Structure 1
Amino acid sequence: MSGSDGGPLARLCGAYLDHLAAERALADNTLLAYRRDLRRYDAFLADDGVTGPAGVGPAQVRAFLTALREGDEEHRALGAASAGRALAAVRGLHAFALREGWCATDAAAEVAPPVPPMRLPKAVPLEAVERILEAAGPAAAPASDARADLLALRDRALLEVLYGTGARISETVGLDVDDVAEAVESGDGGVGLVRFRGKGGHERLVPLGSYASRALQAYLVRVRPSLGRSGKGGPALFLNARGGRLTRQGGWGVLGAVAGRAGVEGVSPHTLRHSFATHLLDGGADIRVVQELLGHSSVTTTQVYTLVTVDHLREVYAVSHPRARYTAAR
């Protein structure tokens, strides 16, 4: 390997790669990536005067991780994910060295991989959500025998429920008619409750507003009886064109087609879920209430949305406050 071909560290790297190929059966591309990362590690340590695994300590491993993140004339700086992958190769190497008796300690055990930057959930403005819902079809369209009209009413009800409850697409297509009975009976002016079965089989009740209730009423009265004549869907709330339960993929397809007609790009069912949470917090909802509505087991998971709303507050402040930005006296 470059930097110290034939030296103890290079021989250790070769033995480790042979182990990965023979006993772990890693894919060729993964082995190539590990070989490239370990070749760079070997060269880095050789430049530091280290020729064998016994001379490596946590300080050298941390220095290598820093070098990965900063880059040099020969290597571009790596992001957290790429640097973490290279460090995984190094950590595996030292764990192997300890296990096989090459050295008495694991030099990399204490070195944690870099933390990737937090990806903020993508939400769309309320105006874009409303355009999507309108593009699905009128919530109270007149009865029609046309298949397209029937499916438009179903699509409107599906999307109203997704945004109105913040539920996952799997939870929404998993609804049965009985799960929404109380919400539908609440009428136009009330806020009913929908029963969802979330991850791990946990049930939760989520309020449903009047817009979604009206859309569900129209679907249940005018559409579902026709779609459900075959009985294939059983108690399922949302049915596909053949009368079976609408699948998760089918729900994605509905939203994709409707969002395309509305001219809103890059929207998924999870985008509506993110938008639900963000719009609630923007409107003053307590984060623990949003946690309960989303079905998160920990408020820590929900707190990512507060970062989105803080950015929104900053933007509003910068635009609205008369002394938010300094301007030279005229």
Structure 2
Amino acid sequence: MAASPASGWRANIVLYAALAANLGIAVAKFVAAAITGSSSMLTEGVHSLVDSGNQGLLLYGQHRAKQPPDAEHPFGYGRELYFWAFVVAILIFGLGAGVSIYEGWKHVAAPEPLHNPLVNYIVLAVAVALEGTSWGIALKEFAAAKGEMGWWAAVRESKDPAAFIVLFEDSAALAGLFVAGIGIWASHHWGDPRIDGVASIAIGCILAAVAILLAREAKGLLIGERANPQVVACVWTILDREPRIMRVNHVRTIHTGPDRVFVAVSADFDDALTMGEGEALIERIEQELKAALPMLSSIYIRPEKAEDAPAIAAVG
């Protein structure tokens, strides 16, 4: 069944909320930077602009990932989302962190006095409110998705990068806003505009750390990660209780998208089975697996003697 517009909106509420917040904040930050000459405010504007582009790329990646399989891509386009998630990490590192550190260094080398810092404080307060709202939505959605799993374990096991990328981006944005606020206050209080440049460099370092973390997670998804252990265990349980399967040699899984899993099974079947009985058995097992695990988009079951698959069994 095709998703309705309402359900599509609900599924992407985290991305839409972050996109709306970042677009508004970026404009306000650039205006404030132009009025006051604040380096940290300028880099925060670049940060929000990059984040807006990132949310757009993730929305595009989600749209592309929903394309049905075709002759060129028989397992679908699900991994395209992982590609765009990796691009997002590169943009955060190259544009967000790179521009922030460069602008900060330039402001330290050739400091310019700040003008009317009150404008910066107003923009920062509004930005904290908007970013905080976006962050709260992302946190709530991710907490509901992770269940009883720990936060870091949930990030490592998550196969939907859009969920944790927005959460990490918003967390970095809030941290950057507080650093920018401290830098602007300290620069004005002590009359040293170089402090504002140092704050900009610190924001760049925060973004670089987040980008490296996101790139590592996106790389694993792009290369191909196994399904969650609970999914693999469920496949083993269903196969083990089948009396006509003498031994399961291995179960291999790989995510072809956030909610699509390819599973390959090697099993030693009862020698007494005829070819027709074996085909019927495999078809029944496939139906049972899909009923229990709807995310199994492709199932491959290979009858194979245990002694013929020792290396595979060792890996599995």
Q: Note whether the superposition's TM-score is higher than 0.5.
A: no
Q: Which has the higher helix share?
A: 2
**Larger RCO (CA under 8 A, 6+ residues apart):** 2
Q: Which has the higher strand share?
A: 2
TM range (shorter): under 0.3
**So what's the TM-score if we normalise by structure 2?**
0.23
Task: Name which one, 1 or 2, has greater alpha-carbon Rg.
Answer: 1
**So what's the TM-score if we normalise by structure 1?**
0.22
